[in-house]
Amino acid sequence: MTTQLCAWAVAAACLLALPAAAQTASTPSSTAPAGLYQALGEKPGITRLVDDFVNRAVKDPRIGSHFKDTKPQALKESLTDQICQLSGGPCQYEGGDMKSAHADMDITKAHFNALVEVLQAAMAAQGVAFAQQNRLLALLAPMHRDIITVR
């Protein structure tokens, strides 16, 4: 149980870090773990992962309401570019910063943790190895500071 809690904590922390890191990089991420982009299946694999993730997130009863004013296809394209860039791929994320994007969304730690769970489920469903899941989540973790708006 403790191992699972640690994995969730790492996952949550990673998810929070993704947008900020992606936003600042204009070339493939120099902080991306070697081979992560390839392990995620490069752009086609990341596109499948994000498609699954967003489809799950908008339907999840804990967090789905946060996506009511979001255009799913636009979100998928933006997240695909973010993850592609963060993982060391050639994509260029051109979206907004996470703090501004989430400022009025009243996101709690519970919402954030639910989102991480949904991402982990999507990664597992897409066959992303657990070690690679953790590598991606570690990149995303620092974003929680900008995404969680209700403390």
How far apart (Å, rounded) are the C-alpha atoms in residues 129 and 13? 19
How far apart (Å, rounded) are the C-alpha atoms in residues 57 and 62? 9
Residue 102 in marked binding region: yes
What's the longest Cα–Cα distance across the chain? Answer: 39
Sign of the CA dihedral with 7 first, then 8, 13, and 17 last:
positive
Give me the count of residues in the chain: 151
How far apart (Å, rounded) are the C-alpha atoms in residues 130 and 75? 25
How far apart (Å, rounded) are the C-alpha atoms in residues 126 and 54? 13
State the binding site: 102
State the binding site for heme: 102
